[in-house]
Amino acid sequence: MLNGMSPYLLLGFLIAGVLHAFVPSTIYSRYLAGTGLRPVATAAAFGIPLPLCSCGVLPTAVALRRSGASRAASTSFLIATPQTGVDSIMATYSMMGLPFAILRPVAALVTSLFGGMAVGHWERKGALDDVKDTGNYEFSELPRGLWNKIKETLKYGFYDMMQSIGRWLLLGLVVATLITVLLPDDFFSTYARWPLLNMFIIVLVAVPMYVCATGSIPIAAALMLKGMSPGCALVLLMAGPAANLASMFVVNNAFGRKATVVYLLSIIGGAVGFGVLVDYWPGLREVFVNALPCHVMHHDHMMGASWLNTVCSIALLCMIAVALGSKYWKSYQIKRNKTTAMKEYKVKGMMCVHCKANVEKGLAALPGVEKVTVDLAKGTALVEGSVPDQLIIDCINDLGYQYEP
């Protein structure tokens, strides 16, 4: 499985780095004002290729909202972005074939359009009930000069991204391996006559838990090998990355109860709807099953992988090891260098480097703050300066995270 995914993952990480270093991030809020179809569709189109998980997309969506984007467009962005990304599209193609790789972003687009338009139905023009914030903490300036852009591309794609999803990718591969080895080959075929029931069970399990768009791919592929229908696998690929308990809490606080209900119904309804389409449309189910790549279908005969796949697998594992090792080494250094002048705040909801950057920039912008250090491994923020505790706590909550006493 690792050999089959690694070349496409590395290519996806590279493309993610190019998007980060060469595409101005402020463009995402410039065209997202208004409640009609255009800003909603634009938000979905912007969000689909971005490699942000369901935790990393939350503060970005909040920032879009405060920078002038409508609630409808922000909700569309929030639904579309975590379901897929350039890295997960590449990995989906390598593990599950072209039909899945095409349908996954299409499904993300349709569900986000539905959710955004439904929220826009309740959003009255000019009647916004939250404060428009000009401080955009997520969107930094692009590096100047071609060489600096190239360095930022490589750093973001092969280091920052590895820190963000490396652990979840490895976990997905381990879970997929256990499923492949331990479950009987006819496990899900016993329940194949009730695919709709299987879909709702998957929704109940996948929606509250956290799984990234890329980490869910080997799990879905392994379950299909055990007889799960392609429609059920698609439900896992859509519903799992799109939401979790933390994201529901933040969406409710930042967008309101109606937007949260639409957000969840769009994800669940879209996942089940497309799953039913795949399983019940005449001949479509067979297309998806037959499109599984040979290295997945014949998983017992994968030792003959090409040298390129092996080299890519070794490179990917080395990059993940370096990124995660650096993450926990920095945590040790932060703890070692902590001084009595620093106040420590527990921040719930930080899961990736995007979260770390959001909290650091947001807290650093407060008056009186001299230095901010975020320990992503421990989920804490160390703040140095003369600033009231309540101001720090309010800022953490306003950024889309939760302060824990």
Mention every residue, 6+ apart, whose C-beta is less than 8 A from residue 201: none
Distance CA 122, CA 355 (A): 30
pLDDT of residue 118: 84
Mean pLDDT per 10-residue segment, the chain (405 residues): 77 77 70 77 86 66 68 85 83 86 91 87 52 41 82 87 77 75 66 75 77 80 82 88 72 73 87 90 86 61 64 91 86 76 82 78 87 84 86 84 81
Distance CA 252, CA 250 (A): 5
pLDDT of residue 59: 60
pLDDT of residue 317: 92
Sign of CA dihedral 355, 361, 367, 373: positive
Mention every residue, 6+ apart, whose C-beta is less than 8 A from residue 308: 7
Beta bridge partners of 348: 402
pLDDT of residue 134: 35
pLDDT of residue 394: 87
**Are the C-beta atoms of residues 142 and 21 closer than 8 Å to each other?**
yes
What's the CATH number for 338-404?
3.30.70.100
Mention every residue, 6+ apart, whose C-beta is less than 8 A from residue 243: 54, 82, 207, 208, 263, 264, 267
Distance CA 134, CA 114 (A): 28
pLDDT of residue 315: 92
**pTM score of the predicted model:** 0.68
Where do the structural domains in the chain lie, given as residue ranges? 2-307, 338-404
Distance CA 105, CA 109 (A): 6
pLDDT of residue 123: 63
Beta bridge partners of 374: 381
Q: What is the pLDDT of residues 158-202, one digit of tens each?
A: 888 788 777 777 877 787 677 767 777 666 656 666 778 888 888
